[in-house]
Structure 1
Amino acid sequence: MSHHFEISTETAKAAPPAVVSLLHVGGMTPADWVTVLTLLYLALQIGLLVPRYLTRLRHYWENRRGS
């Protein structure tokens, strides 16, 4: 097996616990980070859906006036 492959594999295995430890040292617990990431995900979803719904609503009103 390649030495570089072994290093990559071991790094990938150690990354999640290392990230959690660094975030905890930074002053936020994993629960806090889950909350932050959930709110970020929610904001992104809203940001993507609102323009789509506004376009559909605009088309609906245009078609309704034309009928």
Structure 2
Amino acid sequence: MSQPFEVTTETAKAAPPAVVSLMHVGGMTPADWVTVLTLLYLALQIGLLIPRYVSRLREYWENRRGS
């Protein structure tokens, strides 16, 4: 095998444990990171849905007044 291919392969094999080690160095366990990312995802979803629901409510009330 060629040298660059071996380096790439070994780097790919070492990446998952390295990421977990870096997360522990940051003071958070992988479970803590999953919790933080889940809460961030939830906040983003709520932030995207609120404007949609507000506009639908406005349309509903405007149509109700007009009828």
Pairwise same-fold verdict (TM > 0.5): yes
Paired residue for 2:30? 30
**TM-score normalized by structure 2?**
0.79
How large is the RMSD of aligned CA atoms in angstroms?
1.9
**TM-score normalized by structure 1?**
0.79
Q: Residues 46-57 of structure 1 correspond to what in structure 2 (within 5 A)?
A: 46-57=46-57
CA displacement at 1:16 relative to structure 2: 2.8
**Runs of 4+ residues deviating >4 angstroms:** 1-4, 7-10
Provide the aligned length of Structure 1 versus Structure 2.
66
Structure 2 runs not aligned, ≥5 long: none
Structure 1 runs not aligned, ≥5 long: none
Which is higher, the Rg of structure 1 or of structure 2?
2
Residue identity matched to 1:44: L
Residue identity matched to 1:52: R
Cα separation, partners in 2 of 1:59 and 1:9, compared to 1, 3 Å: farther
